[in-house]
Structure 1
Amino acid sequence: MGRFVEGEDRSQSTLLPERLDDYVTEDNPVRVVDVFVDNLDLTALGFERAIAQATGRPGYHPATLLKIYIYGYLNRVQSSRRLEREAQRNIELMWLTGRLSPDFKTIADFRRDNGAAIRRVCREFVVLCRRLDLFSQALVAIDGSKFKAVNNRDRNYTRAKVQRRIEQIEESVARYLSELDSADRQGAAPVAEAHTTRLHEKVEKLQSEMQRMQALAKEVEAAPDQQISLTDPDARSMATSGKGTGTVGYNVQTAVDAQHHLIVDHQVTNIGNDRSQLAAMAKRARTAMQAEHIEVVADRGYFSGEEIVACEEVGITAYVPRPQTSNNQAKGLFGKRDFVYLPETDSYRCPAGQSLIWRFSTVEKGLTLHCYWSSACKACPLKTQCTSSPQRRVKRWEHEAVIDAMQQRLDQDPDKMRIRRQTVEHPFGTLKAWMGSTHFLMRTLNHVSTEMSLHVLAYNLKRVMKILGIAPLMQTMCA
């Protein structure tokens, strides 16, 4: 007969180690959390109650609660109620807190009341990474990703959603009124009376819903962006990559170091697109890295001439592919890229070899544009492939040379886009895997930013522990 591995008798007395420290190995990541927090100046970072008061009931030290949160986010436990349970049963957390077990309300209030200080802690770890010379490559990839808010899609309203809902209610009311007319013609049978009563209740309910929708319509019109969210007022409906899909949430921007995939800086926004984010994120990344010059790589969703020029003006080299949005190319005609600009003569050469010279300058949407065309278009044999207008006109932005120089850099170094993809998409994939299929736990932009900072801090901690090892990292923190 075979045998199974047998456990110990539950009623048998045992001699467990007398010290909690014996349960935590020297290479346990929880020791890094302990050393990191103990070396922070919590008062300077702005934590409340970092200095005990002489009177009143004793409170928990901010270091204890901060350790609980960092440990929780490192181990995919973000809920204050779950952290309360872990503090009561988890040996590592008992070791970290000295067997203190705050209730969930105390844990939740700490995160809510110390948002700015927690965000500074995240930046302090980036400073430590810089001191460890982990940003030596001075190349960062910038990207944004949509994260779900606590607000359900059904509790987010835009002008189109409200109008669609009002039309649905009107159709339902008309259908029920038609059924009531039919019931009246059938007489007062018991079954018909019950059906009529039910229909009247439905109509009254829909009329009440109509009044609510009409009130919401006024609120939507008064909102700056014609959109409101009832659960989280700062959450916004945003389009995602799938056609016809979207999410109600936040657009999280990150700048990721290309060498070690560390998140250099991040920002939570409720702007649904990335076109206005490039320069701001690039400047934040350069400040965090304390580098005189950096290179930034982003996808075509970040392409904006003004943003690229803003980067160029402060010494940041940008690599952003230009989207192909030409209507002419969609029609099978020559696109603007088929016209070659000649800076020495300030003119364009068309596919037929003709010269398009400067004619006049104009201002459109705040941008100064120069217009070029040729007088030879009418007799050109390629005109049917070029334009249906009498002349093919080409417009050039006054700072177009900056865009041309960037495109030339991309052509010479096509691997930059591959670096971008393998750099910036890894952190987002990891963070969303840690969060699971859930959403942010907190509401409003300010609190969500705090929650995201804890996620980023946990991610960076794990990365640096992997890169350097537990013991060397702790030695550096204590130095």
Structure 2
Amino acid sequence: MPRFKDYSYDQQLMLPITLSKQILPGTFEYTLHVLFSEKLDLSVFYDRFQNEETGAPAFDPAVLLKIILFAYSRGITSSRRIARFCDENIVCMALSADTHPHFTTIADFISSMDKECIDLFTKVLAICYSENLIGKEMFAIDGCKISSNCSKEWSGTKADLVRKVEKIRKSISFLVGKHQHEDLHGAKNKDLEKETAAIEKLSAKADKIESWLSEHNDRMGASGKAVKSNITDHCCPV
């Protein structure tokens, strides 16, 4: 029996990490970071705070906006999962400056400031699309798809561009609504079902391939060399 080195996926690593180095220029997350920190006016969020002299310090709205929109881009639309994302994903951790907002903080923010969030998210996504920073896999959540063919789409009359921005607004409104719905009704069971289904699907595929390999040999072509076979129809070479 061969011997192998011990390993464990449950171990915790203490790695020296510079958070700013995780937000690389030219990426979607870098654009979020710069726009929310330096370019966009976030004063609309400040009136909700009354802690200038008393009370605990609050989370900077810029931080919450960054992590929420970044989480949306990764298919995450519940406050519990976004909070966990900040604990587990190094880029999200960097965007939050390792502040770890509680899921109730995120939920309260998105439920009370949803209109303001939608306005800002629309501006940010319009900029990101015009700079080709969003790939085709991002924001494809439950039918919410925004075209990433930026080079062709971001041209035309002012009316054309207004329509395109409105399309982004509708999509981000859908995501914010989905976020609020999952906070109210919970997504934990749904996530567990998805994970279980994915494991079962992979297991079934592995069993099918293993069974086919044990029952069939290579088919030989006219040249005497093996030809490719299709597992779904082994009688037909491909």
The alignment's TM-score, normalised by the length of structure 2, stands at: 0.49
Higher relative contact order (CA 8 A, sep 6+): 1
The alignment's TM-score, normalised by the length of structure 1, stands at: 0.27
Q: Which of 1 and 2 has greater Rg?
A: 1
Relative to total residues, which structure has the larger strand share, 1 or 2? Answer: 1
